[in-house]
Chains A and B, each alone.
Chain A
Amino acid sequence: MRWSTLVPLVLLAVFPIVVQSDYYRHIFIIALMWVVIGSSWNLLAGYTGQVSFGHAIFFGTGAYTAGLCVTKLGISAWWGMLLGGPVAALVGLFIGWVCFRLRGPYFALATIAVGEIFRIGTTVWRDLTEGMQGILIIQSFRSKIPYYYLALVVAAACVYAIYRVINSKWGYYFVAVREDQDAAESMGISAFRYKSLSLLVSSFFTGLAGAFYMNYMAFIDPQVVFSLHYISIMAILVGIIGGVGTLWGPPVGAFIMVLLQETFRSSFFGLLPKWVSEGHVLVFGLLVIVVIRYLANGIVGDWPKISQLWSKGKPLPSATAGN
């Protein structure tokens, strides 16, 4: 990791000092949370090739772990920051044990199914989760600053951990499994084991993000934290828009998606008529179509292609040319 990678970190660290508005701080906190979820999803999908449509499971598990600390154990929701990750990782291991016997699109389908079971299960099991009523706690801080720096630390730790993982032996095994599972197995790499390890790291950080969400938003209910559309699909969008299989793709994707979402939700900060705010999902959809069609490897992955648009140089040879 080069020193220049510290530049975005420093910029993000001074952001809340420069910008006084709590509104923009809030947007950045949410974006940092999505950096964590998107990067975790990317480790499993982009590097290990297991496209998960169910990251809401881990996010929701982390959030509910923190919430249940308050309602059932009577301790602070901050314990959730310690417990949320490990509990989500355990859930992840179990789900991996069930779902990793399936490959490719079947795995994706199974994760949708498990995600929906979790969502419906937590809605119905009122004794434990309060069902649709959700869990409401009292925020510890009124200022956004502590939350901001906590989110920044978690996001930085997550990206750094994933950086370390993908540059270790594990990372190469993950890519081997992604490229050709059978070939990897015949080289003596246990696909199941390395998929599980990838899922373990991925679900740990997603659970941590969930626990952070509980502490920060102070309210959760199953329809929000286990949502297929707002969490699982959003995680995929963050990954795809930024670029799957790249370290910096999901962080870039997270900021693009959250800023875009907020821009549209607020009708371009009140500058355009109100109906524009209803269009943010439509814009997401169109963005996905355009990105998949023309930038298959995302904004970071296809950056040379994009920068070529306004430099008049010769077109770059494609990555596969000569193979």
Chain B
Amino acid sequence: MEVFVQTFVSGILIGGIYALVGLGMTLIMGVMKIINLAHGQLMMIAMYITFVLFEQLHLDPYFSLLVAMPALFLIGAIIQKYFLNPLLKVDSILPENQVLMTVGLGMVLTEIIRFIFQSDYKSVTTSYSSEFIYLGEISFNQAMVVAFFIAAILTLLLFFFLLKTDIGRSVRATAQNKDAALLMGINAEWITIFTYGLGSALAAAAGSLLLPIYYLFPDIGGPFTLKAFIITILGGMGSTVGAIVGGVVLGIAESMGATYISMALKEAVGMVIFLLVLIFLPGGLKAWTKI
């Protein structure tokens, strides 16, 4: 029983961070209707920024959120403005052009980082990386708890932004119906740029939060891109609440899979869930939660 609760708790904690990754992806998917296959790679860039700040300036990974998020916002906005938006004007046979573009961008980002930092595994060891809080028999990794709460705060801020501010409303309007939003005087092109930046910044936050409890190498982006779209599909396309649920569900499922099936199959658990959801519950959990 203790093992079960322990597994469950660590699943929820990591799920909170996954939710941030998924939220970024969901926003981008909602507004642009494309899958951002460079999402994990953007997160990887943020992790390297955090890593460099820690190595050079001994800046705590949580404070480097303040640098990594704006930096990735900028990178994301540039990607959208100069690489993805121009594709809307190009006519081609495959409608998945923008998706394929993100594949190319992801490759370039990974390789640039590999050029600079080589393929070595890196990690950031803080004083709290291996500190534990005990609650009865259950242990909580301190870094994971802090990361979970920061992720929760960021999520709340995001919801406040989306629901209460003008730009947030414009983002939602563009996601619902781009043409109608245009008619209402919303600069939809600007909104797409803003949204991609925001999505990247959320991925950046997840990356910085994950760094004290994870390790880092240039190819880490790919697996996280996969996780991000699993979460998005699980939660239902474009549903922000769904993305949070999806993130937590994936976290728990992976953690359960690692404990009860096998460590090697941990990644496959997510894939199987993903396929089952795609086939049997195409709307994702949105079909149940109705949000």
A interface residues with partner B (beta carbon < 8 Å)? 45-46, 49, 51, 98, 101-102, 104-106, 108-110, 112-114, 116-117, 120-121, 123-124, 178, 228-229, 233, 236, 240, 244-245, 278-279, 281-282, 284-289, 292-293, 296-297, 301, 318-320
Contacts and interface: CB of A to CB of B under 8 A. Distances in A.
B94 A51 contact: yes
A101 B276 CA distance: 12
23 contacts: A46-B93, A104-B96, A106-B282, A108-B35, A113-B226, A113-B278, A116-B267, A117-B275, A120-B265, A120-B268, A123-B264, A124-B264, A124-B265, A124-B268, A236-B100, A244-B92, A244-B93, A282-B115, A285-B104, A285-B105, A288-B103, A288-B107, A293-B101
B111 A281 contact: yes
Nearest to B232: A109
Contacts of A289: 83, 101, 104-105, 108
A105 B20 CA distance: 22
Nearest to A243: B93
Interface in B225-270: 226, 229-230, 233, 262, 264-265, 267-268
A292 B104 contact: yes
A108 B36 CA distance: 12
Given A285-B111, A286-B108, A293-B87, 17 more contacts: A102-B282, A106-B278, A110-B274, A110-B275, A113-B271, A123-B264, A124-B265, A281-B107, A285-B106, A286-B104, A287-B104, A288-B107, A289-B105, A289-B108, A292-B100, A296-B91, A296-B97
B108 A117 contact: no
B111 A293 contact: no
Given A282-B111, A293-B87, A105 B92 contact: no
Contact of A117 (B35, B95, B105, B268): B268
B222 interface: yes
A46 B97 CA distance: 12
A293 B229 contact: no
A228 B267 CA distance: 14
Contacts of A281: 107, 110-111
A215 to B, nearest CB: 29
B145 interface: no
A279 B111 contact: yes
B90 interface: yes
Nearest to B262: A124
Given A124-B262, A285-B111, A105 B99 contact: yes
The prevalent SS among residues of A at the interface is helix
Interface residues of B, number: 44
Contact of A245 (B91, B93, B100): B93
The prevalent SS among residues of B at the interface is helix
- 5 closest pairs, A vs B, by CB? A288-B104, A285-B107, A296-B92, A282-B111, A285-B108
B92 A117 contact: no
B114 interface: yes
Contact of B95 (A104, A114, A287): A104
Contacts of A292: 87, 92, 97, 100-101, 104
B104 A116 contact: no
> Which of B86, B94, B108, B282 has most A Cβ within 10 Å?
B94
B34 interface: yes
A301 B93 CA distance: 10
Given A108-B96, A109-B35, A124-B262, A116 B91 contact: no
> Which of B95, B99, B101, B268 has most A Cβ within 10 Å?
B268
Contact of B278 (A110, A124, A318): A110
Contacts of B105: 285, 289
Given A120-B267, A278-B114, A284-B107, A105 B96 contact: yes
Interface in B131-186: none
Contacts of B291: none
B34 A116 contact: no
Contact of A46 (B94, B95, B104): B94
B83 A116 contact: no
Nearest to A116: B271
Nearest to A45: B94
A315 B177 CA distance: 36
B272 interface: yes
B279 interface: yes
> Which of A117, A123, A236, A284 has most B Cβ within 10 Å?
A117
Contacts of A288: 100-101, 103-104, 107
